[in-house]
Structure 1
Amino acid sequence: MKNIIKTTIAIIALSATALSYAASPQMVSSSEAVSLQKIGVVSSGGFTSLDKLDASLAMKAADAGATHYRIIGASGNNKLGGSAIIYR
């Protein structure tokens, strides 16, 4: 019985993780974006690494219902900010 409960919990946790990756927008290049529908722009700032900025822009794109995004600018010295066009 304990094994069934542990297995069920593990399956639920792995399913939630897989769904979050499946729902994450994909970064695209400008040439790949030509065939997509632009739905807006998102911005974010205050990050200490490009990876954190990218993750924040991807999260905002997902919240807006985007399936793809393209970073169009990033700047800053100690704190980085940037913008991305979002697509469907």
Structure 2
Amino acid sequence: MTTVLDLAALATTAFGLVAAAVVLASARRLVPALAVLLDFLTAAGLLRLAGDPDWSTIAAAAAVIAVRKLVTAGLRASQPG
């Protein structure tokens, strides 16, 4: 089962990269593309946790979520208005 989950996490990461590139190409804005990429990376991290979690997997998922929160807070703070 962990092989399937690892492949699903890898596919989710690849789809996230493609989706972020499509958003960046169509909207010509980095912020929405970055938001899409971070959401897909969060999903991939959670898929990896569904398998056989060890401390490195937990740390990687926590790091992705922490980066996502920091980037989101930074983007909100930098928006005018």
TM-score higher than 0.5: no
More helix by share: 2
More strand by share: 1
**TM-score with structure 2 length normalisation?**
0.32
